[in-house]
C-alpha cells in the first residue's frame, strides 16, 4: 500500500483499478519460463513438451478458479483483445448464420469500458448497429430496458422478413471500473437467453476481487486481464462456453486450438495462473476486511469534505473502489495535487482536443452539472491496505480538495 523513498512521507498507491503490482508468487513462477525453460509449446522435442505441459497446467489452473473447463479458456494479450474478439466473433458468427443482409445489433450499456464501446462501434463495418442501454443513478442496467431492446431488435428483423433474432450479442460488464457497481449479470444473461442471444461480460475489474463463477453467472463469454489482480501486464484470457463457437481471431500457426494463432506468452500465462490462485485464496475474508476499510474512508471523507457525493451502488460494489463526484473541483488538478502530496489516484475525466470532458460513466449516471461532473475521483485500494493508511489517505485527500477549490476559485 505504501512505500517510503528518499526520506519522504510514505507514498500511497490508491490506483489499483488501473493496474496492480506483480505479486512475488507470480514472479517466482514466471522466472523459469523467462530463463531456463524457454521452449516453444508447439514443438515435439523434450524442451517444447515441457513448455506445452506448463501451458496446459496453467490453463487448467485458471479454468478451475472460474468454474470453467480447461478447453473453454483461450489466452490473449489482455482484456481489450478479449473484448474485441468476443464482440467481433459474435458479429461474424451472426452473419455466417443469418446472412449479411439480416439486421443485427449489439446491445451494451452506457458505462462500459471503451474496449467494449469502441469494439461495438467498429462492427458497423460489418453492418451491425449498437444499442446502448441507459443505467440508473447507481450505475445498474435495468432488466426491463434490456428486454425492450431485445424485443425491438427482433421486431426489426421480422419487418425485414428475416427469421433472425436481430441481435448478435449482449455485452454488459460485471463490475464498473470507475464507480465499482456490480451488475446483476445472472438476471441479464437469463433475459438474453430467453431471446436466444449469447451474453458476454467484461469481468476485467471483477476477477480476483469478488467470486466469479461462469456457471453461476450463466454467461457465454467472459474477459479478464492478469494485471488487474497482481499478474503480469500484456496477458489475459477469454472464456468461451462450450458450444459457443466464434471465428478465429488470428490465423496462422494454429495455437489456442486454431482460434488465436501466435506463440503463447508462456511466462505471462503461468504468472497469471499463480496470481489468480493467490487472489482467490481467502478471498471472502479479504473482501470483508477491504470493504470495512473502504467504508471507513468514505465515512471520514464525507464528514470532512462538504459537497462530496459517493458514486455507484453503496453496497453492491467492488470492495476496493471508493468513487466520488466533488463540487467545484477539477479532477485532473486534484490528481496532480494528490500525486505531489504522496497519493496515486485517478479521475474519470479525459483530456480530448484540448478541453477536459467529464467521464462518460459520470454523465451516464446522471451527473451532468459541470460543477459536479468535472470533479470525479476514484480511490482504488490495495489488498494490504491498513487502518493507518486509510487515515493518512483521508487527511491528504481532504487537504488536496481544499487546495484545489482555492486554486479553482482564483482562476
Question: What is the grid cell recorded at 339?
Answer: 500525486
Q: What 8-state DSSP symbol labels residue 241?
A: -
Ramachandran region, residue 343 (left: φ > 0; alpha: ψ -120 to 50; beta: rest): beta
Query: 2-22+282-410 with 37-280: one CATH topology?
Result: no
Q: What 8-state DSSP symbol labels residue 318?
A: -
CB 309 within 8 A of CB 324: yes
Tens of pLDDT, residues 60-71: 999 999 999 999
Q: In whole angstroms, what is the distance from residue 246 CA to residue 244 CA?
A: 7
> Does the domain at residues 2-22+282-410 carry the CATH identifier 3.55.50.30?
no
Average pLDDT, integer, range 37-60: 94
For residue 5, the model assigns a pLDDT of 44
Angle at 28 between CA 22 and CA 31, to 5 degrees: 100
Q: In whole angstroms, what is the distance from residue 40 CA to residue 47 CA?
A: 8
Where in the chain are the domains? 2-22+282-410, 37-280
Tens of pLDDT, residues 290-301: 999 999 999 999
Split at pLDDT 50, 70, 90, the class of 4 is low
105 is catalytic: no
> Does the domain at residues 37-280 carry the CATH identifier 3.40.640.10?
yes
User: Catalytic pick from 53, 162, 351, 394?
Assistant: 351
Angle at 72 between CA 70 and CA 74, to 5 degrees: 95
> C-alpha dihedral over 10, 15, 20, 23, to 10 degrees?
20
Looking at the predicted structure, is the pLDDT value of residue 2 above 70? no
Amino acid at each position: 500500500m505504501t512505500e517510503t523513498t528518499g526520506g519522504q512521507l510514505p507514498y500511497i498507491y490508491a490506483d489499483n483499478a488501473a493496474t496492480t503490482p506483480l505479486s512475488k508468487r507470480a514472479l517466482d513462477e514466471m522466472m523459469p519460463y523467462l530463463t531456463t525453460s524457454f521452449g516453444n509449446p508447439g514443438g515435439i522435442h523434450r524442451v517444447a513438451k515441457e513448455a506445452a505441459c506448463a501451458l496446459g497446467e496453467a490453463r487448467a489452473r485458471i479454468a478451475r478458479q472460474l468454474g470453467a473447463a480447461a478447453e473453454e479458456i483461450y489466452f490473449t494479450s489482455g482484456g481489450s483483445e478479449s473484448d474485441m474478439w468476443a464482440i467481433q466473433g459474435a458479429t461474424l458468427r451472426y452473419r455466417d448464420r443469418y446472412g449479411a443482409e439480416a439486421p443485427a445489433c449489439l446491445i451494451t450499456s452506457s458505462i462500459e469500458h471503451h474496449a467494449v464501446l469502441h469494439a461495438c462501434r467498429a462492427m458497423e463495418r460489418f453492418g451491425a448497429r449498437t444499442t446502448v442501454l441507459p443505467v440508473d443513478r447507481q450505475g445498474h442496467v435495468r432488466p426491463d430496458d434490456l428486454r425492450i431492446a431485445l424485443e425491438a431488435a427482433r421486431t426489426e428483423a421480422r419487418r425485414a422478413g428475416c427469421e433472425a433474432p436481430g441481435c448478435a450479442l449482449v455485452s454488459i460488464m460485471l463490475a464498473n471500473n470507475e464507480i465499482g457497481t456490480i451488475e446483476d449479470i445472472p438476471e441479464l444473461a437469463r433475459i438474453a437467453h430467453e431471446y436466444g442471444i449469447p451474453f458476454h461480460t467484461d469481468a476485467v475489474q471483477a476477477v480476483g476481487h469478488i467470486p466469479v463463477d461462469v456457471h453461476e453467472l450463466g454467461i457465454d463469454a467472459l474477459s479478464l486481464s492478469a494485471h488487474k489482480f497482481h499478474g503480469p501486464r500484456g496477458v489475459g484470457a477469454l472464456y468461451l462456453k462450450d458450444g459457443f463457437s466464434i471465428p478465429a481471431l488470428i490465423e496462422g500457426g494454429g495455437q489456442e486450438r486454431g482460434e488465436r494463432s501466435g506463440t503463447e506468452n508462456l511466462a505471462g500465462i503461468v504468472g497469471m495462473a499463480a496470481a489468480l490462485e493467490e487472489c482467490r485464496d481467502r478471498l471472502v475474508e479479504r473482501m470483508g476486511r477491504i470493504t470495512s476499510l473502504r467504508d471507513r474512508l468514505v465515512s471520514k471523507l464525507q464528514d470532512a469534505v462538504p459537497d462530496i457525493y459517493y458514486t455507484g451502488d453503496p453496497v453492491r460494489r467492488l470492495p476496493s473502489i471508493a468513487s466520488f463526484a466533488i463540487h467545484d473541483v477539477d479532477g485532473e488538478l486534484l490528481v496532480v495535487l494528490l500525486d505531489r502530496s504522496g497519493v496515486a489516484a485517478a479521475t474519470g475525466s479525459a483530456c480530448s482536443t484540448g478541453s477536459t470532458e467529464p467521464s462518460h460513466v459520470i454523465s451516464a449516471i446522471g451527473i451532468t452539472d459541470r460543477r459536479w461532473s468535472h470533479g470525479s475521483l476514484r480511490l482504488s485500494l490495495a489488498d494490504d491496505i491498513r487502518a493507518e493508511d486509510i487515515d493518512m489517505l483521508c487527511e491528504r485527500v481532504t487537504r488536496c480538495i481544499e487546495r484545489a477549490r482555492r486554486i479553482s476559485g482564483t482562476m
